[in-house]
Amino acid sequence: MRRKQRDKVIRVYARTARPIILRYFNRRSCVASSRITIEALKFFGIAARPVPVRFLVRAPALNAVFMSGVTAEDRAEIAGASGSRFVLLAPGPQISGGGIGWNGHVIVKTREFLIDPSFDQALDAIAGAGHAIAAAPLIAVFPLGGKSLPKTFHAGFTALLDDDTKIISEYDHLPDDSFLRAPAWELDHLQPAIERILAAMKGIL
């Protein structure tokens, strides 16, 4: 598949998939959302792989930051460096079925992009703390600009939303792939969502 066609498929996925995923899973479902993304893109011939990360979204004007995959020491350091008015929204481990969850975040890498299929969980948490963010993306797609992604990396992206809110997204390599053994990564229970997403995409492409 040519680059232009791959770009179109990914743009259509980013516009259509998240509302369907949320019919089946909650916003914190980064593991399931990433597996769904990989399988849906595979159908169109686009290779993708999961990338475990530490995830921060900063909204400086709102004095808020969302964090996932960070330690208590990391949270204390960020709080100390940011001032007393800074609101920390740290979700901690994902909880499923009453068990202890995995403390991290999963995104997806293709040849040209990093895709965060559950990006909205951060902005939803910020909004839930009383800071409304208008026209925020549900799925974030970040171009790599021809750069490769090393095994250990830090990636930062800055965006200005429609309401002029500046957000800074940061992703750091997390050396923990234990999510691959979690029930959320298993394919069978994801198939209904995948099938609905593919049907929606085929109606557009």
- What is the sign of the dihedral through the CA atoms of 204, 1, 145 and 155? positive
Kindly tell me if the per-residue pLDDT of 88 is higher than 60. no
Query: Quick one: pLDDT at residue 122?
Result: 84
Query: Quick one: pLDDT at residue 113?
Result: 94
What residues are paired with 197 via a beta bridge?
none
Confidence of residue 90 (pLDDT cuts 50, 70, 90): very low
> E-strand spans in 23-104?
49-59, 64-68, 87-89
Concatenating the DSSP letter of every residue in 91-122 gives --S---TTS----SEEEEE-SSEEEETTTHHH
- Number of alpha carbons in the 13 Å side-chain half-sphere of residue 160: 1
Instruction: Give the type of residue at 68.
Output: S
Kindly tell me if the per-residue pLDDT of 100 is higher than 60. no
Tokens of 182: 């979690």
C-alpha distances (whole Å) from 39 to each of 20, 46, 66, 108 are 15, 9, 28, 11
The pLDDT mean for the chain works out to: 84
Confidence of residue 25 (pLDDT cuts 50, 70, 90): very high
Kindly tell me if the per-residue pLDDT of 193 is higher than 90. yes
Angstrom distance (rounded) from CA 196 to CA 156 = 32
Average pLDDT (163-187) is: 89
Look up the pTM and report it.
Answer: 0.86
List domains and CATH numbers for the chain. Answer: 3-202 (3.10.550)
Confidence of residue 164 (pLDDT cuts 50, 70, 90): confident
* Cβ neighbour number for residue 79 with a 10 Å cutoff: 15
